[in-house]
Amino acid sequence: MTESKAGWPLYEVFVRPRRGLNHVHVGSLHASDDRMALLAARDLYTRRNEGVSLWVVRSDAITASTPDERDPFFEPSGDKVYRHPTFYDIPEDVPHI
């Protein structure tokens, strides 16, 4: 395998925009090791003070659902309307609920 093919592995970058919020996927980058990925993520994805915390993870470490699993994965919850608070009728005059 030539050098150009065997470049640095791909990492996915997650930024916590500020305290109280989840880390959000912002993009990816190439790095030869975890520490380089973290530093590069800082340099690339927080140039404008966009975050207070960073995660990087090698892309090949992520296991993802496939589009064809969409129905078996995500359809079953569609009928579980009882998980939603509006499923339940509560009289208007009951406070704080």
Helix, strand or coil for residue 55?
strand
Nearer to other proteins, 63 or 77 (CB): 63
Q: d(Cα 45, Cα 24) in Å, to the nearest integer?
A: 12
- 92 counts as binding other proteins under rule CB under 8 A: no
Q: d(Cα 14, Cα 87) in Å, to the nearest integer?
A: 35
- Of the candidate spans 65-73, 76-84, 86-94, the one that interacts with other proteins by CB under 8 A turns out to be 65-73
At closest approach, how far in Å is the CB of 41 from other proteins?
9
Q: In this structure, are residues 15 and 46 in contact, taking their beta carbons and an 8 Å threshold?
A: yes
Quick note: the x/- pattern for other proteins over 26-55, rule CB under 8 A, is -xxxxxxx-xx--xx--xx--xxxx-----
72, 11, 21: which is closest to 50 by C-alpha?
21
At closest approach, how far in Å is the CB of 94 from other proteins?
36
